[in-house]
């Protein structure tokens, strides 16, 4: 058999097997899947190791805890829960349409990159329940009895007896002590400088964004693609591939769908919000995305040249639920 014929047959076999492999990959992570472990952590008293990523899963009523360590947990596709040092969270409900966790101690951060109206995403803290209503970044502190919405919007029931839910918008924090108090302003940028969980979460977001870039290109144009969590062997964890369009995380990283890449969409590796969600505005609005030849990737750190006569303006924030180009809400 000639080398050319062998190469052709291998390529043909890969293309025939791709749809089944993609479907298996996308369906293999459910809410509660452990995606990354650093340092000392346990699941229901059993030690978690780095190799637990992608295998261990927090079932209903089970608790993941850390001492000198951190853990990243997948919730619904596009939603990451990150647990800080000396913290614990219990899974109340791992259902796809009703996902609920309880912060028992310490700190937790939730990055929400996509949320459908069918998703009910709840985080319990003390007597309070917080429903995360929009894309954004949320931090919970059980020691300080505090909820901070850096970006997005949450509705909080301060106690089981409360008759009214309190709306907490971006750049606002709420004392979670059982009383119906008013949210107060805070400066997310200043708070982030003093927050080790934010720094760790941002680094994780960088890695996940890079993994998405690689996988979106790999699966571009492949038949049988379904959106969801996809395993990246180089990351040794799952990243998120949306069904259509381009989404930005609250840390400014792009999550590209294979359809967006296959259609010739621009890559913006590492671009956004000065790698943060503060200040300025998005470089474009939905439906007005400049295009480039399929597969064109700009150097990491952002595209600095002019686009559509004006170039990009650094900075931006979700400003009411996030932004995406050509994707689904």
> pLDDT tens for residues 153-177?
999 999 998 889 999 999 999 999 8
Mark whether 220 and 167 lie in a shared domain. Answer: no
Query: 317 near 282, Cβ under 8 Å?
Result: no
Write out pLDDT tens, residues 261-274: 988 876 665 443 22
Place of tokens 């699966």: 219
Prediction pTM value: 0.76
Which phi and psi (to 5°) does residue 92 adopt? -90, -45
Can you read off the two tokens belonging to residue 71? 């853990």
Predicted confidence at residue 173, as pLDDT, reads: 96
Predicted confidence at residue 267, as pLDDT, reads: 65
Predicted confidence at residue 194, as pLDDT, reads: 87
Would you call 322 exposed, middle or buried from its count of C-beta atoms within 10 A (0-12, 13-18, 19+)?
Answer: buried
Q: Is residue 260 part of a domain?
A: yes
Mark whether 155 and 104 lie in a shared domain. Answer: yes
Q: Grade residue 252 by pLDDT with cuts at 50, 70 and 90.
A: confident
Mark whether 258 and 128 lie in a shared domain. Answer: no
- The pLDDT mean for the chain works out to 78
Residue 315's domain comprises 205-325
Q: Is residue 29 part of a domain?
A: no
Domain boundary at 178, 196, 214, which?
Answer: 196
Q: Is residue 13 part of a domain?
A: no
For residue 157, list its beta bridge partners. 129
Q: Name which residue leads in pLDDT, 138 or 179.
A: 138
Q: Name which residue leads in pLDDT, 319 or 255.
A: 255
Query: 307 near 298, Cβ under 8 Å?
Result: no
Q: Is residue 8 part of a domain?
A: no
- pLDDT of 2 above 70: no
- pLDDT of 296 above 60: no
Q: Name which residue leads in pLDDT, 60 or 285.
A: 60
Q: Is residue 304 part of a domain?
A: yes
Mark whether 251 and 127 lie in a shared domain. Answer: no
Predicted confidence at residue 227, as pLDDT, reads: 94
Which of 143-147, 160-164, 285-289 shows the highest mean pLDDT?
143-147
- pLDDT of 140 above 90: yes
Mark whether 281 and 167 lie in a shared domain. Answer: no
Place of tokens 């190469």: 7
SS3 191: helix
Over range 286-298, report the average pLDDT.
Answer: 30
């Amino acid at each position: 058999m000639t080398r050319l014929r062998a190469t052709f047959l291998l390529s043909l076999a890969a293309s025939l097997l791709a749809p089944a492999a993609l479907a298996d990959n996308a369906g293999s992570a459910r809410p509660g899947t452990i995606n990354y472990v650093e340092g000392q952590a346990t699941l229901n008293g059993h030690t978690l190791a780095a190799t637990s990523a992608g295998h261990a899963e927090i079932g209903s009523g089970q608790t993941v805890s850390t001492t000198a360590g951190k853990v990243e947990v997948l919730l619904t596709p596009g939603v990451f829960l990150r647990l800080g040092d000396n913290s614990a969270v219990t899974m109340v409900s791992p259902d796809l349409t009703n996902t609920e966790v309880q912060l028992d101690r310490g700190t937790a951060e939730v990055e929400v990159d996509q949320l459908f109206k069918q998703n009910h995403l709840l985080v319990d803290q003390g007597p309070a329940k917080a429903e995360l209503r929009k894309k954004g970044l949320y931090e919970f502190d059980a020691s300080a009895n505090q909820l901070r919405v850096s970006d997005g919007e949450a509705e909080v029931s301060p106690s089981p007896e409360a008759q009214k839910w309190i709306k907490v918008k971006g750049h606002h924090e709420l004392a979670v002590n059982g009383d119906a108090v008013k949210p107060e302003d805070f400066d997310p940028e200043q708070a982030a400088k003093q927050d080790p969980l934010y720094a760790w979460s941002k680094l994780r977001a960088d890695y996940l964004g890079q993994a998405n870039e690689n996988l979106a290109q790999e699966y571009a144009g492949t038949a049988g693609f379904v959106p969801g969590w996809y395993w990246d062997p180089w990351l040794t964890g799952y990243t998120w591939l949306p069904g259509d369009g381009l989404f930005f995380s609250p840390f400014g990283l792009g999550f590209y769908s294979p359809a967006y890449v296959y259609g010739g969409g621009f890559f913006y590796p590492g671009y956004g919000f000065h790698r943060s969600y503060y200040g300025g505005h998005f470089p474009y609005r939905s439906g007005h995305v400049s295009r480039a030849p399929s597969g064109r990737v700009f150097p990491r750190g952002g595209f600095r040249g002019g686009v559509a006569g004006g170039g990009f303006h650094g900075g931006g924030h979700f400003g009411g639920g996030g932004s995406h180009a050509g994707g689904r809400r």
